[in-house]
């Protein structure tokens, strides 16, 4: 065996333990870093070819592994924009240049422009929700935007959808056509029941619609919709103009009281607004009085966002000061086949590599993706007790390898001094 080889083996061992100490020190330093994934040093042997009469010592090779796929414990906070992931997946973030990265560090707060940014300066990305729809891309970052909480400030949302569920009294009197609207639009017009609903036009103005329900035949009802702004001073008929905004006829089953009409909605164009579809399918004709059970119309008047709530599915809901709510974004998550082989970068972010596989984009709770918890942060998965134990082991092993080197150096001195 070569004395130089023995010394090189000792140096290899010291370098390996130094690498181990480096990962231990990094883990301890980041034990309080949100979303940090601990590193560990794995060893493998390097064997050199040897002859029958001589053995050539090899060395040790170190590989640093990052335990990215291991979840850290959750720590709960009071901020609705603090986000934690449980299970597979990563938040998609971008730097100031728009380059996308992956991270588990979810300590986001709005910056001066209203964009959600974490402590490392990376912006949270998501898909905008337009008319209730999201258009995701499954294998790339196209369509993602910075989640901004101020760009939706003072946005008026016109009414487009609604639900009206009620009980229409089965024993009500049938009103002749000549006495009911729209044939009779005078103050003497007869009807069975009336409800007013609040809607919004394109500018966010409140538009109240009066809906008159009239029993026209056995198991048949007619709904006539008027703009309350056109009502008389007494708040009802006559309206000016006299024609209703729309009329709909509904038929009911005589035995069950359920709606049998093919068209189970009231369709009306809100004055200065959008077409409004009011779902009427839950309404029945049963015994008893007229009773509105559920009345809900979407839209809102101009109002600033007071705060946001984020659900387990990643939908960001804006809560306006006027009491209305509106989904504005859905947070996108990303995953790769081999998370532990992601490339680790500064700022507690990761990027894909040839070993990690291609990125797949989806939403929380769907497929293999985990769930999002608002008002919580994922803590570092570093274990200080384990790291301190490894630090002592690495220190002892480093000392042992240094003794090997020192012994080789002493033997080299003996060899050099043989001629003396």
Q: In what order do the strands lie in the sheet with 220-227?
A: 193-200, 206-217, 220-227, 246-251
DSSP label at residue 72: P
Domains and CATH numbers, the chain: 3-67+381-419 (no CATH), 74-155+304-378 (no CATH), 161-297 (2.60.98.20)
Among residues 264, 242, 240, which one has the least CA distance to residue 251?
264
Q: pLDDT tens digits for 382-409?
A: 989 998 998 999 889 889 888 888 887 7
Q: Express as a percent the part of the chain with pLDDT over 90.
A: 61
Joined tokens for residue 210: 């009066």
pLDDT at 152 over 60: no
Which residue bears the tokens 């050539």? 56
Ordered DSSP codes for 148-212: BSSTTTT--B---EEEEEEEEETTPPPPPTTTSTTT--STT---SEEEEEEEE-TT--EEEEEEE
pLDDT for 407: 84
Ordered DSSP codes for 318-331: EEETTS-EEEEEEE
E strands, 234-288, in order: 246-251, 265-269, 275-279, 284-286
Angle at CA 396, nearest 5°, toward 390 and 401? Answer: 120
The answer to whether residues 288 and 167 touch, using CB atoms and an 8 Å cutoff, is yes
The answer to whether residues 309 and 323 touch, using CB atoms and an 8 Å cutoff, is no
pLDDT for 122: 95
Looking at 48-62, 93-107, 118-132, 353-367, which range is the least confident one? Answer: 48-62
Distance separating alpha carbons of residues 44 and 379, to the nearest angstrom:
31
The answer to whether residues 129 and 330 touch, using CB atoms and an 8 Å cutoff, is yes
Q: pLDDT tens digits for 79-103?
A: 999 999 999 999 999 999 999 999 9
Across 27-55, average pLDDT: 82
Q: pLDDT tens digits for 269-305?
A: 999 999 999 999 999 999 999 999 999 999 887 877 7
Among residues 408, 281, 328, 343, which one has the least CA distance to residue 90?
343
Q: pLDDT tens digits for 307-319?
A: 889 999 999 998 8
Residue 156 dihedral angles phi and psi, to the nearest 5°: -95, 130
Its pTM stands at: 0.64
pLDDT for 293: 94
pLDDT at 153 over 70: no
The answer to whether residues 318 and 308 touch, using CB atoms and an 8 Å cutoff, is yes
pLDDT for 208: 96
Residues in the chain, how many?
A: 420
Residue 255 to residues 146, 213, 260, 284, 410, Cα–Cα distance (Å): 55, 21, 11, 11, 106
């Amino acid at each position: 065996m070569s004395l130089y080889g023995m010394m090189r083996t000792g140096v290899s061992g010291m370098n390996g333990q130094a690498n181990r100490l480096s990962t231990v020190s990094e883990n301890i330093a980041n034990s309080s870093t949100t979303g940090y994934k601990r590193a560990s040093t794995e060893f493998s042997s390097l064997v050199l070819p040897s002859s029958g009469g001589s053995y050539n010592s090899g060395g040790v090779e170190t590989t640093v592994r990052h335990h990215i796929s291991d979840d850290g414990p959750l720590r709960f906070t009071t901020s609705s924009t603090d986000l934690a992931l449980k299970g597979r997946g990563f938040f998609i973030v971008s730097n100031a240049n728009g380059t996308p990265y992956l991270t588990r560090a979810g300590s986001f707060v709005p910056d001066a422009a209203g964009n959600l940014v974490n402590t490392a300066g990376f912006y949270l990305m998501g898909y905008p929700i337009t008319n209730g729809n999201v258009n995701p891309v499954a294998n790339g970052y196209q369509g993602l935007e910075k989640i901004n909480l101020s760009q939706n400030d003072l946005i008026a949302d016109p009414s487009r959808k609604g639900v009206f569920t009620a009980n229409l009294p089965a024993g009500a009197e049938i009103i002749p056509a000549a006495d009911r609207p729209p044939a009779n639009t005078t103050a003497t017009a007869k009807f069975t029941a009336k409800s007013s609903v609040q809607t919004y036009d394109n500018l966010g103005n409140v538009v109240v619609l009066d809906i008159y329900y009239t029993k026209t035949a056995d198991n048949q009802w007619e709904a006539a919709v008027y703009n309350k702004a056109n009502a008389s001073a007494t708040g009802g008929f006559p309206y000016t103009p006299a024609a209703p905004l729309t009329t709909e006829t509904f038929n009911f089953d005589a035995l069950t009281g359920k709606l049998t009409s093919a068209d189970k909605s009231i369709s009306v164009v809100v004055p200065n607004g959008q077409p409004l579809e009011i779902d009427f399918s839950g309404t029945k004709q049963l015994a008893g009085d007229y009773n509105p059970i559920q009345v809900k119309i979407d839209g809102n008047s101009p109002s600033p966002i007071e705060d946001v709530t984020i659900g387990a599915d990643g939908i960001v809901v804006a809560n306006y000061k006027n009491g209305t709510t509106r989904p504005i974004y859905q947070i996108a998550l990303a995953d790769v086949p081999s998370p532990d082989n992601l490339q680790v970068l500064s700022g507690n972010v990761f990027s894909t590599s040839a070993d990690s596989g291609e990125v797949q984009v989806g939403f929380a709770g769907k497929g293999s993706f985990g769930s999002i918890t608002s008002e919580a942060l994922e803590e570092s998965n570093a274990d200080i007790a384990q790291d301190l134990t490894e630090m002592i082991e690495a220190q002892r092993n480093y000392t042992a390898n240094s003794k090997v080197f020192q012994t080789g150096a002493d033997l080299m001195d003996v060899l050099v001094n043989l001629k003396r």
